[in-house]
A and B are shown apart, each in its own frame.
Chain A
Amino acid sequence: MTGIGHLSPPLGAAPTNAPADSSSVGAAGALDVSVKRVREEQFHQLLHSRTFLFGSLILLWWVVCAIFGTSFVPYNATATNILNTNLAPSVGHWFGTNDVGNDVFSRVIVGARDILEIAPLATLLGTALGTTIGLAQGYLGGAFDMIVGRIVDAFLSLPTVIVAFIFVVAVGPSTATLVLVIGFVFSLIIARTVRTAVLQERELDYIAAARLRGESVLHMMFVEILPNVLGPIIVEFTVRLGYAIFTIATLSFLGFGVQLPTPDWGADVASNYPYLAAGYWWETLFPALAIASLVIAINLIGDALEAVLIQ
């Protein structure tokens, strides 16, 4: 009866008046749910979220491929066979073969390994470093914040892919380089997000109360503020993970990532792309779809996490 004629009004319970009183007050005045139960509830919500389940399934599949792939693929992913080049998908080769006779299916399965090695490492590095930088920037402020801020701005005025690629050009492609460079750029991006969150927390009274106890700077940053900005950090982590995969695949495509003959989706797309005009679509399409599936899976997981954590 209230649905007619009005604009989507605010979602949620009734607005409370100036003397705010928290609504989760049971008869005892306090105990509605313990913290443990809140966590359980969140977990429960996650498990029932279709996006989370779907994304996790796909991710799990690729993780299995990355770890165990070499043991169950029908062919050696790097084995060449000049007699069987550019064969269309068939019973013998589910995804066909490429221009040097590699079985595309095997390459797709094993190709998960490198990317799933580098991406999480880079993201972890980026998150840890970025959180520390962001905390310091946000809490300490002043000159430190300004200088670091300008450096961050400078690096971020270039797309991640390009920053990564000039450093790879300079130093040469290797797993370590990729992890370090991508991790470094991500740390700057995450530092920005963390800094904003910290700036908001800094104004709250519990920070003043902690200062009045004579707490040290490290305590303020890591014991007082960090737990309160953890939510956005976790969400950032999943988003960045997706981006890491995006970046590594792109770099490989451009020729600056994982090098052939190591199976890699991006590199495979790049090397087999010239054969598209000749009609050999399978060698390019399947690796491309593999990338898409992984990236979308991580995205779905991140979305579900965000819905549950940011409440």
Chain B
Amino acid sequence: MTLATSSGLPTTVEEPSTTLDVSHLDVTYRVRDNDRLALRDVSFSIGRQESFGLVGESGCGKSTTALAITCYLPRNGRVSGGSITVNGQDPATMDRRDLRKFRARTVSMVYQEPGRALNPSLRVGRQVAEVYEIAGESKHEAMARAEELLRTVQIADPGRVLRCYPHQLSGGMLQRVMIAMALASQPSLLILDEPTTALDATVEAEVLDLVSSLRQQLSTSVLFISHNLAVIAKMCDRVGVMYAGEIVEQGPAREVFDNPRHPYTVGLLRCVPRGGQRKDHGRLDTIPGFLPGPGEVQVGCIFAKRCALAKERCREETPPMYEVSASRTSRCHFQEQAPDLPRATPEDVQLRSPDSAPEPLIRLRGLSKTFHVGREHVRAVVGVDLDLKAGETLGLVGESGSGKTTIARVLLGLSEPDKGSSIELEGSPLAPECTQRDRKQLQAMQIVFQNPDSALNRRHSVRHIITRSLKKLAGFSGERCEQRLVEVVHSVRMEERHLPLRPYQLSGGLKQRVAIARAFAGAPRVLVCDEPTSALDVSVQAAILNLLADLQSREGVTYVFISHDLGVVRYLSDSIAVLYLGRVMQYGPAETVFSGPHHPYTESLLSAVPSLDGTRRERIRLQGEIPSAAHSPSGCVFHTRCPRRLENGLCESSEPALVEVEPGHMMRCHIPVDELRRLQTTEDAGR
């Protein structure tokens, strides 16, 4: 993948030892006549061929750092202190022409949403070829180069891809194109800003592998920005942990994650669910308090307010970056004590175990939903049979197109299922549409949505939102209603002073609590949680998950917990159903599904998700994209990507039934479960 330089002359400039040097960088934004410091005293460097990760929650400033490096800060932002050097050059001092060359040759960037990062009115090929045109190639040659480029990132049939418009390609494919484009110019520094956040787990694994292999081939330095600790642990040599605009800890990734030396890092790591942690055993810890407002902390440690180890000195003296070891630094006066940070929540809790009622609370039989889009029939859910036992949590896991959200909507009556589907609540059938159900039935089932911004009416106060639920679903009124309102608000750990506020005045976590309060106001029997924490930061997520677990224990509610995040599902669920293209592939108790024997799809899914501990379990890589539900494959729908597909063609021709392979454990696979168990344990042992 070489790019002919326009002059053809060898570079004689002396190459500096580091690719990127950020030194005491300050970035300020001007919002409504006030200056807000977005980045404070940020310093880090990336060596040649090194991969550096910037990790932190939203608002910590990691994206701002990337924008500052490429000189693309918004109009109201500016670098107010410090310097940035890339390959010995400072982009801030460049004139227009040099800046363009800098962007074309030295730095490249890949962003979060590939669909939006490409011009919808131009063919993909044209946009890829542009990179070569900038380098001086003719249009014709540039296109030929573009095709060759796509081939090197393992895109089969690159000619077709080049002729497509962006909306015709999937997210994973687009991201591969973007990465190829970014590396075409052989930049010294590649910046990746949440490149896989918008992608499914199996696709994400492929893309990350691609980045790793390309990096090795081209010896480019990489700046990897993400909020996902596991991904950073997997992809980066060194890491910088950011909080509220500052780097609080820096060092080799493995060391920082195994042995953190800043209270924030310690807290953050404790918020991420890992194998073996359950809602009652090995609870997730939370970080108390909230992000500081802009300009709130002028003096002292920026994390002091939320730190259980904080002492007077922390509030009065701003800590510099202390050296923990030769290659590690931490911005904490008491960094040796950091690993002993006291927990904010107890580690083990007594939770009420689900009542062992023999009859399932909810029974789904033959549930199917087909959408008719134009002339296509999109089979979103096909023949799903599920039982929900009272008081337990059923986790629904799957990637996009798995049908998990559709099942939730059909269950609630927001969407009408196909004829022949049956939904029963406590033995009596439920009407397919929620408008046909009576109040008692509506009261029995409620939902918490994924996006708290759209789930709450922006113009209603918190009081109005919850009270409406109390009145309509639970039938409260007057004095009793007011009392119950206060109870409900306290139960989600909010206060009365929040009642007159509108949603836009609340943080994401608080909004989600209001949504949960609203759902619980009617004392439901079943609560559907549709990715309730996916839009929240890791620390907030931990608090919400624990809250959900506690509420379940107190109120005896049954949960249907939907998520694409395996770690979160495992933490909260008692039993799990793994879905693929609208079918249940595996169903059983949570631990069984996770420890094995696995359905091949479950196996691939577990393989794809990077783990924080670095336990390498990544043997399986699925090829290709998730098929569209409008044209689902014949036979077993997973056969097109299944690494264990049988040679005899059985998987292609006939769809296996969902059978009980062990008590309480169902699997949809032609391969007998004992065979699967054998194959999977030998491979494990063989490592």
The answer to the question of A17 belonging to the interface, with a C-beta cut-off of 8 Å to chain B, is yes
> Can you name 8 extra interface pairs (CB under 8 A) apart from A212-B413, A214-B472?
A17-B197, A18-B227, A19-B57, A25-B293, A29-B509, A208-B449, A211-B435, A212-B442
In contact, B536 and A206 (Cβ under 8 angstroms): no
Binds A, one of B255-263, B344-352, B456-464: B456-464
In contact, B536 and A22 (Cβ under 8 angstroms): no
Chain B, residues 520-548, CB within 8 Å of chain A (1/0): the string is 00100000000000111110110000000
The answer to the question of A261 belonging to the interface, with a C-beta cut-off of 8 Å to chain B, is no
The answer to the question of A13 belonging to the interface, with a C-beta cut-off of 8 Å to chain B, is yes
A29 contact from B469, B500, B510, B534, Cβ within 8 A: B510
In contact, A22 and B459 (Cβ under 8 angstroms): no
In contact, B536 and A21 (Cβ under 8 angstroms): yes
The answer to the question of A9 belonging to the interface, with a C-beta cut-off of 8 Å to chain B, is yes
A34 to chain B, nearest CB (A): 7
B290 contact from A5, A18, A27, Cβ within 8 A: A27
B130 to chain A, nearest CB (A): 15
A21 contact from B74, B94, B412, B537, Cβ within 8 A: B537
Binds A, one of B61-69, B149-157, B326-334, B622-630: B61-69
The interface residues of chain A, by DSSP majority, are classed as: loop
Chain A residue with the shortest CB-CB distance to B446: A212
Chain A, residues 1-26, CB within 8 Å of chain B (1/0): the string is 11011101111111111111111111
In contact, B227 and A19 (Cβ under 8 angstroms): yes
In contact, B506 and A22 (Cβ under 8 angstroms): yes
Bound-state Cα–Cα, A27 to B509, Å: 14
In contact, A12 and B74 (Cβ under 8 angstroms): yes
The answer to the question of A28 belonging to the interface, with a C-beta cut-off of 8 Å to chain B, is yes
Some 28 contacts from A to B, beta carbons below 8 A apart, are A4-B99, A5-B71, A6-B71, A9-B74, A12-B74, A13-B29, A13-B31, A14-B61, A17-B58, A18-B198, A19-B57, A19-B58, A21-B59, A21-B540, A22-B507, A25-B507, A27-B292, A29-B509, A30-B506, A205-B451, A206-B457, A208-B447, A210-B457, A212-B434, A212-B442, A213-B468, A213-B472, A228-B459
The answer to the question of B291 belonging to the interface, with a C-beta cut-off of 8 Å to chain A, is yes
Chain B, residues 442-476, CB within 8 Å of chain A (1/0): the string is 10011101010111111111000000110011000
The answer to the question of B95 belonging to the interface, with a C-beta cut-off of 8 Å to chain A, is yes
In contact, A23 and B451 (Cβ under 8 angstroms): no
The answer to the question of A204 belonging to the interface, with a C-beta cut-off of 8 Å to chain B, is yes
A160 to chain B, nearest CB (A): 31
Cβ–Cβ < 8 Å partners of A12 in chain B: 74, 76
In contact, A4 and B96 (Cβ under 8 angstroms): yes
Chain B contact residues, CB within 8 Å of chain A: 29, 31, 36, 38, 57-59, 61-64, 67-68, 71-79, 92-97, 99-100, 112, 194, 197-198, 227, 289-293, 296, 305, 412-414, 434-435, 437, 439, 442, 445-447, 449, 451, 453-461, 468-469, 472-473, 497-498, 500-502, 504-511, 518, 522, 534-538, 540-541
Bound-state Cα–Cα, A34 to B462, Å: 13
Bound-state Cα–Cα, A215 to B457, Å: 14
The answer to the question of A31 belonging to the interface, with a C-beta cut-off of 8 Å to chain B, is yes
Tell me which residues from 198 to 219 in chain A have a Cβ below 8 Å from any Cβ of chain B.
204-206, 208-215
B445 to chain A, nearest CB (A): 8
Chain B residue with the shortest CB-CB distance to A214: B442
Known contacts A5-B100, A19-B57, A21-B59: does B506 contact A224 (CB below 8 Å)? no
B303 to chain A, nearest CB (A): 13
Most chain-B Cβ atoms within 10 A of its Cβ — which of A6, A32, A213?
A: A213
Bound-state Cα–Cα, A228 to B458, Å: 7
A139 to chain B, nearest CB (A): 13
In contact, A25 and B112 (Cβ under 8 angstroms): no
In contact, A21 and B508 (Cβ under 8 angstroms): yes
A24 to chain B, nearest CB (A): 6
Cβ–Cβ < 8 Å partners of B455 in chain A: 204-206, 209
The answer to the question of A159 belonging to the interface, with a C-beta cut-off of 8 Å to chain B, is no
Cβ–Cβ < 8 Å partners of A210 in chain B: 457
Cβ–Cβ < 8 Å partners of A230 in chain B: 459
The answer to the question of A91 belonging to the interface, with a C-beta cut-off of 8 Å to chain B, is no
In contact, A205 and B57 (Cβ under 8 angstroms): no
Cβ–Cβ < 8 Å partners of A1 in chain B: 78-79, 92-93
Q: Give the number of chain A interface residues (Cβ < 8 Å).
A: 48
In contact, B501 and A34 (Cβ under 8 angstroms): yes
In contact, A24 and B508 (Cβ under 8 angstroms): no
Chain B residue with the shortest CB-CB distance to A18: B197
In contact, B290 and A25 (Cβ under 8 angstroms): yes
Cβ–Cβ < 8 Å partners of B292 in chain A: 27
Bound-state Cα–Cα, A22 to B469, Å: 25
In contact, A5 and B94 (Cβ under 8 angstroms): yes
In contact, B508 and A19 (Cβ under 8 angstroms): yes
Cβ–Cβ < 8 Å partners of B413 in chain A: 212
A253 to chain B, nearest CB (A): 42
Chain B residue with the shortest CB-CB distance to A25: B507
Bound-state Cα–Cα, A204 to B454, Å: 5
Cβ–Cβ < 8 Å partners of A4 in chain B: 71, 94-96, 99
Bound-state Cα–Cα, A18 to B290, Å: 18
3 residue pairs, one from A and one from B, having the closest CB atoms: A227-B459, A5-B96, A29-B290
In contact, B472 and A2 (Cβ under 8 angstroms): no
Chain A residue with the shortest CB-CB distance to B438: A214
Known contacts A27-B296, A212-B446: does B502 contact A35 (CB below 8 Å)? yes
The answer to the question of A33 belonging to the interface, with a C-beta cut-off of 8 Å to chain B, is yes
In contact, A30 and B442 (Cβ under 8 angstroms): no
In contact, B74 and A22 (Cβ under 8 angstroms): no
In contact, B507 and A34 (Cβ under 8 angstroms): no
In contact, B414 and A211 (Cβ under 8 angstroms): yes
In contact, B537 and A30 (Cβ under 8 angstroms): no
Bound-state Cα–Cα, A286 to B469, Å: 61
B648 to chain A, nearest CB (A): 43
B564 to chain A, nearest CB (A): 12
Cβ–Cβ < 8 Å partners of A26 in chain B: 290, 293, 296
In contact, A11 and B507 (Cβ under 8 angstroms): no
In contact, A2 and B77 (Cβ under 8 angstroms): yes
B31 to chain A, nearest CB (A): 6
Cβ–Cβ < 8 Å partners of A206 in chain B: 454-457
Cβ–Cβ < 8 Å partners of A214 in chain B: 434-435, 437, 439, 442, 472-473
A21 to chain B, nearest CB (A): 4
Bound-state Cα–Cα, A15 to B59, Å: 9
Most chain-B Cβ atoms within 10 A of its Cβ — which of A8, A14, A35?
A: A14
Chain A, residues 254-294, CB within 8 Å of chain B (1/0): the string is 00000000000000000000000000000000000000000
B76 contact from A11, A28, A33, Cβ within 8 A: A11
Bound-state Cα–Cα, A1 to B68, Å: 10
Cβ–Cβ < 8 Å partners of A16 in chain B: 58-59, 63
Bound-state Cα–Cα, A172 to B266, Å: 82
Chain B residue with the shortest CB-CB distance to A213: B472
B470 to chain A, nearest CB (A): 10
A142 to chain B, nearest CB (A): 14
A11 contact from B58, B75, B541, Cβ within 8 A: B75
Known contacts A2-B79, A215-B472: does B71 contact A30 (CB below 8 Å)? no
Cβ–Cβ < 8 Å partners of A5 in chain B: 71, 94-97, 99-100
In contact, B511 and A22 (Cβ under 8 angstroms): yes
Bound-state Cα–Cα, A224 to B460, Å: 8
Chain A residue with the shortest CB-CB distance to B414: A208
Known contacts A28-B290, A212-B434: does B535 contact A20 (CB below 8 Å)? yes
B400 to chain A, nearest CB (A): 15
Cβ–Cβ < 8 Å partners of B538 in chain A: 19
In contact, B508 and A17 (Cβ under 8 angstroms): no
Cβ–Cβ < 8 Å partners of A22 in chain B: 453, 504, 506-508, 511
Bound-state Cα–Cα, A23 to B507, Å: 7
Bound-state Cα–Cα, A28 to B305, Å: 11
A32 to chain B, nearest CB (A): 6
In contact, B112 and A18 (Cβ under 8 angstroms): yes
A33 contact from B449, B505, B537, Cβ within 8 A: B505
Cβ–Cβ < 8 Å partners of B447 in chain A: 208-209, 212
Bound-state Cα–Cα, A140 to B325, Å: 66
Cβ–Cβ < 8 Å partners of A21 in chain B: 57-59, 291, 507-509, 536-537, 540
